[in-house]
Amino acid sequence: MPSIAKPRIPLAPLVHNELGLTIRDYEGAMSTLCAGCGHDSVTAAISLAFFELSIRPRDIAKLSGIGCSSKTPTYFINGAHGFNSAHGRMAAIATGAVAAHRGLHYIGVSGDGDSLSIGLGHLSHAIRRNIDMTYIIENNGVYGLTKGQVSPSADVGSRPKKGDPNVVPPIDPMELGLAIGATFLARGFSGDKDQLVPLIKAAVAHRGFALLDVISPCVSFNDHEGSTKSYRFFREHEVHEIEADYVPQRAEIRSKISADSARAVTMHDGSVMYFRALPEGYDPTNRLTVESYLAERKAAGEVPTGLLYVKENAPDLHDMSGTIAQPLVEVSHRDLCPGSEALAQLQRAFR
Amino acid sequence: MTTSPGVNDFALKLANVNGTGSASANGLLMQSIFRMGVPVSGKNLFPSNIQGLPTWYEIRVNGEGHTARSLEYHLMVAMNAQTYAQDVAAVARGGYVLYDSTWPLDDELIREDVHYLGVPLAAMCRDNFTKNRERILMKNVAYAGALVALLDIDLDIVSNLLAETFAKNEALRESNQRALRLGHDYATSHFTCPLPFRVETRDANRDAILVDGNTAVALGCLYAGATVVGWYPITPATAVMDNFIGFCKRYRRVEVAPGEWENNYCVIQAEDEIAAIGMVLGASWAGARAFTSTSGPGISLMNELLGLAYYTEIPAVVVDVQRVGPSTGMPTRTQQGDLLLCAYASHGDTRHIVVIPADPHEAFEFAVAAFDLAERFQTPVFVLSDLDIGMNDWIVPSLTWDDSFVPDRGRVVNDEDLATMREFFRYAGEDEDHVTARTLPGSDEKGAYFIRGSGHDQFGRYTEDSAAYLQVVDRLRAKHAASADHVPAPIIETRPGARVGLVTMGSCDRAVREAIEMLAERGIECDYMRVRAFPFPSSVSDFVTSHDTCFVIEQNRDAQLKSLMAIELSLAPDSMISVLDYGGFPLSASTVVDAVTSHLEVH
Ligand SMILES: Cc1ncc(C[n+]2csc(CCOP(=O)(O)OP(=O)(O)O)c2C)c(N)n1
Ligand code: SF4
Ligand SMILES: [Mg+2]
């Protein structure tokens, strides 16, 4: 149900994915964000990633918190159910949904304020529980929707449009994730679709909590000289190093990264994620080297992007809880209710 | 008001130190009397502490079935030197004090008008047991043994109970039996047993069970088919989850391959209560039956998401085992202080369904009903229990289950339905109860919709348009009102010629019923109404308007039930008189009788 009808005139002949669907089938309502907002580019990348993965829209569930970023799930994949929840609470709500219905692909979209201040607790615990979902932080270093307050991801010294430079050290979601046992950590840039789309695809394929920190500049409140989350700053300081591509098991699509110079990680479903690390010897499956690498780059004032860390085959919420393979929502009441005889029997202990 | 105790009519109080193992000995006495077929109640008045503070247990035996808390103690078991003075002072004139005579009692503890029964418990246990821990624990079983003799409790029943409890532990079974005999033999050889008041076998409990409300609520959730739970530990609600998990381990395991078991439930201990209710909403949105249980502080935290659930119409079941507020309050004391909080939880115009059980039996039934109501009306439903119901053992009729029960999942449109529809809109097409149909994630794409807590129109689209907004919130109000015909109706009992009405809710039930009989003996006939849910069915206001005088009896300071009735039923607040008892202990009939008679005398 788009709130504003979108002109549906294809500019070029539309490509079909394995399901025979076109990219149009992965689009949503017309965005109402500011022209040039990084979030809109992320929206486009999400649509494209799911299109290319050939996942049925009905098998996707979209969730978000509150903020400009959290508005975006309505701008992609109309055919998927969506839940624009409350400020900071998306991770908790997603946890319940994943617990109830493990048969869907969950994609959560949040902001740096939503995830790193009000929702930091829920995010951390969703990471610990390794909820099987893709969680994107559209990180602009600012509270966009409430008009430009400094956010917990703003770098020290970075200046909001109004007010004084930030003096409080930021929370880096990648460092946080590493510290508390995240199983998939990647950073992208809204302005680099070629890198972002494969990262999202890999995140979706990952079984467990895939955290994607996407630098996504806010053109209205944080895209000026002095902001470290501006297009310009990011283009100058990004070290685009750990390239990744995702190749589903079923298709022999050639990875953009030539296979000879790349390393491969086999995902739980047999699909393969290729990545090429420019720094010699960088190993995204080795937590210790990742940690020191990130610290080094940070000290050098650089922001590495790409697949930073991955740990396949770690137990997720359902493994840890010992839940049946069938989604709980599909178990009939007949199989859930012990019945009158059991009730009579167990009450013998109450006598 | 004092009455003389007699056969199957007395109350005793046991004063202990917490963490010394008295709870099981006290429970043993209470359960033995239950097995003798005599109506009995046990109230645990315990501190918010793990070890070392005073704790009391009250047992009331009443052949007529009056098992509300009694404020008259005919026998005090004084095991806590710290509270000797207040415990001795609390005994009714002519009553008894049983104490540990290993040490002499201070002179100032001697009252002329009570009898003292000294049993050298510590000495006895020191001489008969070797381990230190055992010497402490067995003092409790020894006084229980003395009470068995003094109150004429069936020794075989007690001894069988011990055998059952320690069936798997030979050593403990033997020492418990020995301690029981020690106390019993001492009493029979040193005192005239039984005392003038005692227990005599009856057959009142044939179809009854002894159960606490937290166990019963957990069973209700199990039987209703709840699969997903988010929760955070808090007294007095924690045992709901302990029990639910225990039952799930027993009844919700599936053998997927030989010797390989998996769970068809998922219980998540959340990071806080906000997450707990968030998990419930996520799971309910996805189509599962989900619930959480908590107490007042947890409800306070859940407010924002409860409003989200109300406005976006997501079912949710929230069990609130009330304790004393405000703030941390007194976590181990009982109160009914969350009624208004639950009825109107969250900002903006919100109103919820609240069901209010009186005892564990209703707690079981209302828990089941709560899931049906939540899904039928697509809204949060509170099961408003309290510490007295939740944590004390009650004698209630056995729980029964109808195997033909089919859960009411409410209006859910599936793919087949969608195939016959041109379009689906989440908040359009209301039924006679103003409920619209929902689809579940994973449905055919035609049924996909976007939930938002921001302003939305009947099509589920974002709106800032007044008319479109009003259409939705006005329907929500009508929907809530319509649920009044589906929630548990009030219990109303009339007496010929009564012009006075006593209105109450929840665990006050037994005390108020007893008060009605006591008042009748004094020539004051009263009708009875126990409100069992919000919104109120019309019979609630009919009851109030048809009586000259109505007392509203509840356990909070601010007359929350009376206020809610006044606001919702447009009753003049001064048309009802409040009887408020909110010090943290279960209500007793004498409190009600005193309040009613003193008001009627003045007016
Ligand atoms: C409980 C609560 N407090 C405050 C707000 C106001 N609020 C809305 S969005 C927002 C910050 C959003 O920042 P971020 O998550 O970074 O998203 P962005 O708009 O930058 O994409 C705040 C504080 C709210 N909606 N709810
Ligand atoms: S305010 Fe900033 S974050 Fe929000 S839509 Fe505009 S550019 Fe994007
Ligand atoms: Mg932001």
Distance B228 CA to ligand 2 centre (A): 36
How many CB pairs below 8 A link A and B? 228
Domain identity same for B451 and B569: no
Give the CATH number, domain containing residue A114. 3.40.50.970
pLDDT of residue A303: 86
Angle between helix axes B509-521 and B589-602 (nearest 10 degrees) is 50
Residue B603 CB-density burial (10 A; 0-12 exposed, 13-18 middle, 19+ buried): exposed
Confidence class of residue B272 from pLDDT cuts 50, 70 and 90?
A: very high
Mark whether B296 and B161 lie in a shared domain: no
> Which positions ≥6 away from B15 have C-beta within 8 Å?
B54, B55, B56, B76, B77, B78, B79, B80, B83, B87
- Pair B151, B246 in one domain: no
Domain-located, residue A327 = no
- Looking at the structure, do residues B109 and B48 belong to the same domain, yes or no? yes
| Amino acid sitting at position B351 | R
Whichever domain contains B107, its CATH number is: 3.40.920.10
Decide which of B436, B459, B485 is a domain's last residue: B485
Residue A185 inside a domain? The answer is yes
A74 lines ligand 2 (CB under 6 A): no
Mean pLDDT computed over B593-599: 98
Chain-chain contact of B262 with A324 (C-beta, under 8 angstroms): yes
Half-sphere exposure of A224 (CA within 13 A, CB side): 11
Structure tokens at B254: 């599936």
Sign of CA pseudo-dihedral A155, A161, A162, A164: positive
| Residue contact A323–B263, C-beta within 8 A | yes
Q: B315 vs chain A: nearest CA distance in angstroms?
A: 13
pLDDT at B52: 86
Given ligand 2 and candidates A31, A32, A33, A140, which is best to mutate, with the most ligand atoms within 8 Å of its CB?
A: A33
Interatomic CA distance for residues B244 and B230, integer angstroms = 12
Are B475 and B498 part of one and the same domain? no
Global confidence as pTM: 0.95
Contact indicator for A81, A61 with CB cutoff of 8 Å: yes
Does any ligand 1 atom lie closer than 6 A to the CB of residue A66?
Answer: yes
Predicted local confidence at residue B51, as pLDDT: 83
- The answer to whether the CB of A57 is under 6 A from ligand 1 is no
Residue A184 DSSP SS3: strand
Q: What single-letter DSSP state applies at residue A13? A: P
Q: Is A33 in the pocket of ligand 2 (CB under 6 A)?
A: yes
Which chain B residues have a beta carbon less than 8 Å from that of A93?
A: 278-279, 281-282, 285
* Residue nearest ligand 2's atom 5 by CA: A33
Q: Which atom of ligand 2 is nearest to the CA of A68?
A: 4
- Give residue-wise pLDDT tens across range B188-205: 999 999 999 999 999 999
SS3 of A201, please? helix
pLDDT digit string, tens, across residues A145-189: 999 999 999 999 888 777 788 999 999 999 999 999 999 999 999
Which residue, judged by its Cα, is nearest atom 3 of ligand 1? A87
Inside any domain, residue B206: no
By alpha-carbon position, which residue is closest to atom 8 of ligand 2?
A: A37
DSSP-derived letter for residue B197 is: S
What's the CA gap between B32 and B15, in Å, rounded? 19
B252 and B390 belong to one structural domain: yes
Asked, as a colleague might, if the bond just before B535 is cis with ω within 30 of 0, I would say yes
Whether B225 and B283 map to the same domain: the answer is: yes
Cα separation of the two ends of chain B: 21
Q: Is A319 at the interface with chain B, CB within 8 A?
A: no
Q: What is the pLDDT of residues B315-371, one digit of tens each?
A: 999 999 999 999 999 999 999 999 999 999 999 999 999 999 999 999 999 999 999
Rounded to the nearest whole angstrom, what is the distance from the C-alpha of residue A114 to the centroid of ligand 2?
A: 14
Counting Cα atoms < 13 Å in the Cβ hemisphere of B251 gives 27
Of the candidates B578, B580, B563, B570, the one whose C-alpha atom is nearest the C-alpha of residue B344 is: B563
Range in A281-295, A334-348, B80-94, B282-296 with the lowest mean pLDDT: A281-295
For position B519, which CATH number holds?
3.40.50.920
Structural domain count of chain A: 1
Task: Tell me which of A3 and B268 has the higher pLDDT.
Answer: B268
For residue A314, is it within any domain?
yes
Answer yes or no: is B2 within a domain: no
Q: Answer yes or no: do B272 and B233 share one domain.
A: yes
Neighbours of B510 (CB within 10 A): 21
Quick check: is B30 in a domain? yes
Structural domain harbouring A239: 23-318
| Beta-carbon separation of A100 and B287 below 8 A | yes
Give me the residue from B209, B254, B402 closest to A324, CB to CB.
Answer: B254
CB < 8 Å to A86, chain B: 304-305, 308, 453
- Whether residues B109 and B127 fall in one domain: yes
Query: Is the pLDDT score of B560 beyond 70?
Result: yes
Are B454 and A58 an interchain contact pair (Cβ–Cβ within 8 Å)?
Answer: no
Q: How far is CA B486 from the centre of its chain?
A: 22
The domain tally of chain B equals 4
Residue A302 maps to a domain: yes
Give DSSP secondary structure letters for A243-304. EEEEE-TT--PPPSS-GGG-EEEE-TTS-EEEEEESSTT--TT-HHHHHHHHHHHHHTT-EE
For residues B380-390, average pLDDT: 98
User: A104, B441: Cβ pair inside 8 Å?
Assistant: yes
B435 and B521 share a domain?
no
Q: Which of A81, A122, A135 to mutate to test the interface with B (most CBs of B within 10 A)?
A: A81
Quick one: average pLDDT of B558-562? 98
Calculate mean pLDDT across residues B258-273.
Answer: 97
Burial tier of A297 (Cβ tally within 10 Å: 0-12, 13-18, 19+): middle
Res B320: pLDDT: 98
* B536 and B477 inside one domain: no
User: What is the model's pLDDT at position B171?
Assistant: 93
Please report, as a single letter, which amino acid is at residue B145: G
Q: What is the ipTM of this complex?
A: 0.96
Residue B484 to residue B535: CA distance in whole angstroms: 5
The reply to whether residue A61 touches residue B256, judged by beta carbons under 8 angstroms, is no
Helix axes B213-224, A339-346, angle to 10 degrees: 160
Residue A5 lies in a domain: no
* Chain A contact set for B448 (CB, 8 A): 57-58, 78-82
The answer to whether the beta carbons of residues A79 and A55 sit under 8 Å apart is no
Residue B104 lies in a domain: yes
Q: Is residue A192 part of a domain?
A: yes
Residues 69-88 of A with CB under 8 A from B: 73-74, 78-86
Of B287, B442, B452, the CB nearest to A84: B452
Find how far residue B585's CA is from the centre of its chain.
Answer: 13
Same domain, residue pair B304 and B442: no
**What is the reported pLDDT for A234?**
86
**Residue range(s) defining the domain that contains residue B448:** 415-485
B201 lies in some domain: no
> Closest Cα partner for A222 from A174, A164, A173, A162?
A162
E strands present in B81-128: 91-100, 115-119
Residue B3 is classified by DSSP as: -
Asked whether B460 and B504 are in contact (CB, 8 A), the reply is no
Measured in Å, how far apart are chain A's first and last C-alpha atoms? 58
Residue of B nearest to A67 (CA): B454
Residue A15 lies in a domain: no
By CB atoms closer than 10 A (0-12, 13-18, 19+), residue A91 is: buried
Residue position matching structure tokens 């009995």? B40
Q: Decide which of B446, B462, B485 is a domain's last residue.
A: B485
Q: Tell me if A229 CB under 6 Å of ligand 2.
A: no
The verdict on residue A339 lying in a domain is no
Contacts of B383 (CB under 8 A, 6+ apart): B217, B317, B318, B319, B320, B355, B357, B363, B366, B367, B370
Give the sign of the dihedral formed by CA A127, CA A128, CA A130, CA A131. Answer: negative
* Overall size of chain A counted in residues: 351
- Tens digit of each residue's pLDDT (9 = 90 or more) over A228-244: 899 998 888 888 776 77
